[in-house]
A and B are shown apart, each in its own frame.
Chain A
Amino acid sequence: MKSESNILAPEAVTEADARRWRDDFPILSETIGGHLLTYLDNAATTQKPNSVIASEVTYYRHTNANVHRGVHTLSQRATDAYEAARGKVQHFINAASSNEIIYVRGTTEAINLVAQSFARPRLAPGDEILISAMEHHSNIVPWQMVCAQTGAVLKVVTINDAGEFEEDCFERLLGPRTRLVAVTHLSNALGSIVPVEQVIEFAHANGVPVLLDGAQAIAHMGVDVRALDCDFYAFSGHKIYGPTGIGVLYGKAALLDAMMPYQGGGDMIRTVTFEKTEYNELPYKFEAGTPNIAGAIGLGAALDYVCAIGIAAIAVHEHALLDYATARVADIAGLKIIGTAGNKASILSFTIAGIHPHDIGTILDHQGVAIRAGHHCAMPVMQRFGLAGTARASFALYNTRAEVDGLISALHQVMEIFRQ
């Protein structure tokens, strides 16, 4: 890891820095149909820097063994690297203890874990879970499932036409039967940042715990779980330059301690007899079976990479890109930005009158520009805006203004083809 002094002052980030960062990502040299790849689908998944790729290769070449089991050297080495990565996650989100960092497959599994192990045993018929109208399906469906299992009711905080979380509605809906608030930190479909500090403060004042879906937020803004005082925080490694198949559930130790395990199996037990099983301590109680060891170590490498640049510098760079792109698309006739919240990050969702997002996506791809077209796993958001889908460009640290220019010229080509 670089020392603190090497981290760029956020205001000093230039296009040249972004170009330098690009060189760390080998896939960005790919050509698509003769065009250099312009990867603007970062909200779906981010590309991986050399250091993350190398960490997986090194793990399988020099370290591979099962963790927490062996007396042999490799097992010790694997365990040390796996646990060191947990420490990196802890520091990255400023958790009080590495015991509060549970490795999972991704955000989806983290939320399902909380739904089944935390919420389900505590819910009675008529109890309520409060989410928002801009959740990803992974922060809707696990709650619908637990509601079906328990007779609890799902309540939904509305959003306004700009795609902003309506705090009035939230305060109205949070009532004596509310048992949990589960909201996104940053909307994947709209780019809106939810005022989570106020949400948490109000929920806690009413004795209600809060889970934050940090799948999008984690790569774009500093996350300090102790300053936020959230009860659970969920995120995926692959959205922050790490491997797929590894993610994190942060939970306050007192809550995690009081929860039932999510799955039973090896590693999550202390002793097993046919009469009785004693569960392992945190965090292992929630990590049944052989985990994604290489993935966890790769995630640690990704967080090292992000720390070396500095999340504040990344946020400033991405914000400048978003502002630039927002200004430039204004020239395109019929283009409408979906999601115009005052507080946004990294995501530009839009429609063009008379042109379906899928057609936009195909024509852009033909020029090497990768965007997402569709409902972004947030169909209720699309319904809220009366749309089947949107086109979405989403930015990461390695994107440049030149790439935004490429996006704009590709969009002009869409117009040319459709307005012939």
Chain B
Amino acid sequence: MSDLRELYQDVIFDHYKKPRNCHVLDCANHQAEGFNPLCGDQLTVYLRVDKGVISDLSFKGSGCAISTASASLMTEALKGKRIDEVEHLFEDFHHMLTTPGDASRPELGKLEVLAGVSEFPARVKCATLAWHTLQSALKNQNKPVSTE
């Protein structure tokens, strides 16, 4: 039960039920679609990048609590970030998701609420779908990214 509470924290429910930046971004100059064929989850990530800085970003789609909350938290975490910072942040985030008991990583900020995913390996793909889609959008790859 404690693992479950660790996974389904209040912050995650808050972002699942009231996802932030969950809309189409009209001014976007990058976008990509992401798909998890295992569960059918699908989302689109929209980005406005100006002079190497993510000035705005959003997502639209439907998914489980983990994938929706992760997408919502990602949009909050990355607004105003330089795109060269994104990769390092995703590496740290991914490491946290795949390493049970990983030490606290202050640089991840609020994203740390997803640390509980590390006890549920089957759910890592849910938590990373938005991030993989974001990377694809930054590379301007037009074909949908898949978790498989």
Contact = CB atoms under 8 A, between A and B. Distances in A.
Interface stretch (B39-47, B78-86, B104-112): B39-47
Contacts of B65: 355-356, 359, 418
Contact of B4 (A373, A374, A379, A417): A417
B59 to A, nearest CB: 15
Given A366-B3, A366-B4, A358 B42 contact: no
Interface string A386-404: 0111000000000000000
B13 A358 contact: no
Given A358-B123, A420-B13, A363 B62 contact: no
B38 interface: yes
B122 A362 contact: yes
B19 interface: no
Contacts of A363: 4, 8
Given A356-B64, A359-B66, A375 B4 contact: no
A362 B120 contact: yes
Contacts of A356: 39, 41, 63-65
Contacts of A382: 40
B114 interface: no
B42 A374 contact: no
Interface residues of B, number: 22
Interface residues of A, number: 20
Interface string B100-134: 00000000000000000000101100100000000
- With most chain A CB atoms within 10 A of its CB, the pick from B39, B40, B66, B123 is B40
Interface in B23-72: 38-42, 62-66
A388 B4 contact: no
A387 B10 CA distance: 26
B7 A362 contact: yes
A283 interface: no
A210 B4 CA distance: 48
Interface in A337-382: 354-359, 362-363, 366, 373-375, 379, 382
A375 B39 CA distance: 6
Nearest to A357: B39
A140 to B, nearest CB: 15
A389 B39 contact: yes
B13 A375 contact: no
A400 B83 CA distance: 55
B120 A374 contact: no
A192 to B, nearest CB: 20
B16 to A, nearest CB: 9
A417 B126 CA distance: 19
Question: Which 6 residue pairs spanning A and B have beta carbons closest together?
Answer: A356-B64, A388-B40, A358-B64, A389-B40, A374-B39, A375-B40
Given A359-B65, A388-B39, 7 more contacts: A356-B39, A358-B123, A374-B38, A375-B39, A388-B42, A417-B4, A420-B13
9 contacts: A358-B41, A358-B66, A358-B123, A362-B123, A363-B4, A373-B39, A388-B41, A418-B13, A418-B65
Interface of B: 1, 3-4, 7-8, 10, 13, 17, 38-42, 62-66, 120, 122-123, 126
